[in-house]
Amino acid sequence: MSSFDSSWLVPDWPAPAHIQACCTTRLGGVSQAPFASFNLGDHVGDDPLAVAENRHLLSLALPNPPHWLAQTHSTEIKMITTPTANAVFPADASVTRMPEAVCVVMTADCLPLLLTDQQGTVVAAVHAGWRGLCDGIIERAVQAMAVPATTLLAWLGPAIGPKAFEVGAEVRAAFMAQAAEAEQAFTPQQNGKYLADIYQLARQRLQAVGVSHISGGTHCTVTDRERFFSYRRDGQTGRMASCIWISTNLTSA
């Protein structure tokens, strides 16, 4: 196992030993409030020097610098073909078969989704906010991995929980227009709005394309103030990173 910080989440899933993955928390960095302390987002108003130091600390646990994305709640996929990151790509998911190339997404309520196949030949990191999720970011990422969906393993990282994610009727309608079963993920409230279960919505989308091995989906970024950043809770806040790569270092895998 790589030398991950003890506060980070490590997926509990049946991935091959050479597939390495982790999700940072807000703990262990140098940023000051409201970004305290391990903020990895360079677009949220934090001190650039603090972000750079936090990213350096992250890199110590990775084989190469991660391929950061400029996330815009789109369905754009970046195919990574080199292990060394040298640019920021406008996309909301990345896919690679390149050993030691690190896929990464940043979140602070949106759902981070990590994927690999049972043989560990391809990996993906997906940023699934409700817009991207509704528009098909999961389906596009699965397609880009170019392996049978039935061989894929999925891990749902920390996101806004089903008791905290209040949305309007238009969000429910948008999902139901895609799939009637989405209704099961929305609980009506007395104010005319709904509580949405982004974990359930993601599971539905994964299962619809043939992915049945789904792990994770047990955290709430809003209620777990100590461990997680939450945009819904705090407004101005930091970002966590979910990373995945194919390792060639068998002594750490």
List pLDDT tens digits, range 9-41. 999 999 999 999 999 999 999 999 999 999 999
Domain CATH code at residue 39: 3.60.140.10
List pLDDT tens digits, range 73-119. 999 999 999 888 778 999 999 999 999 999 999 999 999 999 999 99
Say how many C-beta atoms besides its own lie within 10 A of residue 34's C-beta. 15
Structural contact between residues 68 and 51, judged by C-beta atoms closer than 8 angstroms: no
Local structure of 35: helix, strand or coil:
coil
Inside any domain, residue 184: no
Among residues 190, 191, 173, which one has the least CA distance to residue 182? 173
pLDDT at 85: 78
Inside any domain, residue 183: no
List pLDDT tens digits, range 207-242. 999 999 999 999 999 999 999 999 999 999 999 999
pLDDT at 252: 43
Inside any domain, residue 112: yes
Q: Name residue, tokens 């969000």.
A: 171
- Split into its structural domains, the chain has a count of 1
Distance CA 252, CA 60 (A): 13
pLDDT at 4: 87
Q: Name residue, tokens 């994770």.
A: 216
Distance CA 253, CA 241 (A): 20
pTM: 0.95
Distance of CA 88 to the CA centre of its chain: 17
Structural domain for 74, as ranges? 19-161+214-246
Among residues 38, 53, 83, 57, which one has the least CA distance to residue 237? 38
Say how many C-beta atoms besides its own lie within 10 A of residue 119's C-beta. 11
Distance CA 182, CA 163 (A): 16
Distance CA 146, CA 106 (A): 24
Inside any domain, residue 194: no
pLDDT at 250: 62
Distance CA 144, CA 233 (A): 34
Inside any domain, residue 176: no
Burial of 241 (0-12, 13-18, 19+ CB in 10 A): buried
Inside any domain, residue 149: yes
Residue 59 pLDDT > 70: yes
pLDDT at 202: 98
Q: Please give the sequence-ordered ranges of beta strands (E in DSSP) within 75-110, or none if there are none.
A: 77-80, 89-90, 93-96, 103-107
List pLDDT tens digits, range 166-222. 999 999 999 999 999 999 999 999 999 999 999 999 999 999 999 999 999 999 999
Distance CA 115, CA 118 (A): 10
Local structure of 55: helix, strand or coil:
helix
Inside any domain, residue 170: no
pLDDT at 194: 98
Distance CA 4, CA 103 (A): 16
Inside any domain, residue 145: yes
Residue 130 pLDDT > 70: yes
Cα–Cα distance list, 180 to 42, 128, 204 (Å): 38, 20, 11
